[in-house]
Amino acid sequence: MSAAATAPGPIAPGPIAPAPAAQPKLQNADLTAWLAVIAGAIGALMATLDISIVNSSLPTIQGEIGASATEGTWIATAYLVSEIIIIPLTAWLERVFGLRRFLLFMAALFTLFSIACGLSTNLTEMIIGRVGQGFTGGAMIPTGMTIIATRLPRHQQPLGTALFGSTLIMGPVFGPLLGGWLTENYSWHYAFFINIPVCAVLMTFLIVGLKPQPMKLDDLKQADWMGIAGMAAGLGGLTVVLEEGNREQWFESALIWRLTAVTLAGFVLIGLGQVYAKRPVVRLALLRNRAFAAVFVLGLLIGAVLYGTSYVIPQFLSAIAGYNAQQAGAIVFLSGIPAGMMMPLFPLLVARIDLRAAVMLGMLLMAGSCWFDTTLTAQSDGSEFVVSQLMRGLGQAFSMLFLNQAAIASVKPNEAGDASGLFNAARNLGGSMALALLATLQDRRMEFHHWTLFSAIPANSGAVQDWVQSQAAQNGVGYDATLGAIHAIDQTVLREALVMSFTDEFVALAWAIVIVLPLVLLLRPLQKGHHKMAMH
């Protein structure tokens, strides 16, 4: 047989397997987009930093501008009131004027108002400057999330969210430390002047990173003016009621009654705007989305813990441990360390951890840190807060960073601006509510513990009488010496009662977190494929 006869014939062609489809290459954001994101983060950092940067400097500022302690609280309150009003209006304002033009205008005005605060010589000038700072700085908070949603591709949004979320945590905790350091080493004026170079960098990044957009001034004619007026009256009135209620003895004050009426009228106007306006200034309809409603309520609690602990801890360290503003600020700042460490890890974490599990872990860490601080005594100092502050910071980082992601994931891209405004307003409103309620709780519980402890000291006890006599003998003889010894007992009791009232505040914060914890289950998990994209 010939070789030709034995050679195998041609093989019949079979079905050809399709070549594997090429994975579409994910398009990354360019440098200008990241400059815009960094600018948004810087703006949010400045706005949140300036809420608390004056807190440690208040005694010095009050003395130099001739304000009493009660009047001096308006230096902080004026900023908070105007910021809470402007935040929900930001999405509408950026639509009317264009994001780039609006942010540049706000940053320029923020710089001017910061200079005005630093040059203030009386309370009126200071309050006008702080109101202006609040309006212009508050406008820069929610726009950071808008920039992330519109300038970054989906797979890079977790990194942008981490950067933005870290600034929201770092601002309130870094403020007291920076303000205290500037006041102790230079002057309180620099707590405001420091915004000048930062704003210059911010405006440069905005010019490079954002494209000009046409203005839509016709929207002014069709604006929800009832909603805008309602925001100013409702949120402004509510914030002042919460801030001043405890000092004014709540509803024993005619001022609180009038402000409550203004608040209710404002909320009625907001409701009417939702019904009759073609496009409400803020979309409260988003709260019908149960996933976003859960984000909103959890944001309230995170704000309460973030601002509440930043208020309570310096108070404790000042009153009990004798710390100055800079020392107390350093303890508060400890909670910001985990946020800074987590920022580069966040894109990896969001790719591997279920969003709901991460928020749950963060909330449990915050509750545990508050419970950890319920063991404080009259001998406690800053070292007692090191572990709890690091734990609290880690919990805040998990909760805040993943909730920012949940806020974006729970709404449509065109609703990101409204959702951001509501979420950030929730955090600040939660902080305002916490400050008011914690101050009231402290006064009430201190009075309760004072009289409970005092009544437990038997006046006819031989040991008590012997101690009073021995103390009186050291200070002389007679009625005044005995009265001084009794006064020493009362001061000791007051000190213990104050410590117990601080403990009660941490207990209240821990229980508040536990109560809202089930809402985490309502959060919407990230879409399929988002976890893989987060890795790129």
With tokens 């919407």, the residue in question is 524
Domain contains 192: yes
Residues 405, 464 share a domain:
no
Rounded to whole angstroms, how far apart are CA atoms 220 and 209?
A: 27
The number of beta carbons lying within 10 Å of the beta carbon of residue 251 is 11
Residues 63, 79 share a domain:
yes
Q: How many domains does the chain have?
A: 4
Does residue 41 contact residue 144 with C-beta atoms inside 8 Å? yes
Which is nearest to 209 in space by CA: 84, 35, 69?
A: 35
Please give the residue range of the domain that contains residue 462: 449-498
CA distances to 134, 278, 315, 411, 517 from 170, in Å: 18, 38, 20, 26, 24
Residues 110, 40 share a domain:
yes
Which of 237, 263, 280 is the last residue in one of the domains? 280
DSSP letters, 451-508, are: HHHHHTS-TT-HHHHHHHHHHHHHT-SSHHHHHHHHHHHHHHHHHHHHHHHHHHHHHH
Residues 487, 407 share a domain:
no
SS3 of residue 223 by DSSP: coil
Which amino acid is present at 385? F
* pTM listed for this prediction: 0.74
Which is nearest to 30 in space by CA: 163, 160, 152, 212?
A: 152
Residues 294, 216 share a domain:
no
- DSSP 8-state secondary structure symbol assigned to residue 520: G
Which of 222, 238, 271 is the last residue in one of the domains? 222
Residues 494, 509 share a domain:
no
Rounded to whole angstroms, how far apart are CA atoms 144 and 155?
A: 17
Give strand ranges (E) for 271-414: none
CA distances to 134, 170, 205, 373, 481 from 46, in Å: 11, 10, 15, 29, 54
pLDDT in tens, the chain (536 residues): 444 444 444 444 444 445 444 445 567 777 888 888 888 888 888 888 887 787 667 777 877 887 766 666 677 778 877 887 888 788 788 888 888 888 899 999 999 999 999 898 888 888 899 989 988 988 888 777 778 877 777 777 777 777 777 777 777 777 778 887 887 788 888 888 988 998 899 889 888 888 888 887 777 777 778 888 888 888 788 877 877 777 777 788 888 899 899 999 988 988 888 888 777 777 777 888 888 889 899 988 988 888 888 878 888 888 888 887 778 878 888 888 887 777 777 777 777 788 888 889 999 999 999 999 998 888 888 888 999 999 998 998 888 878 877 877 777 777 776 777 788 778 878 887 887 788 788 888 888 887 887 776 665 665 666 555 665 556 665 555 556 556 666 677 788 888 899 999 999 999 999 999 999 888 877 665 444 333 33
CA distances to 25, 85, 280, 297 from 97, in Å: 35, 18, 17, 30
CATH code where residue 119 lies: 1.20.1250.20
Residues 262, 231 share a domain:
yes
CA distances to 52, 81, 226, 269, 284 from 85, in Å: 18, 6, 14, 14, 15
Question: The tokens of 106 are what?
Answer: 């706000």
Domain contains 143: yes
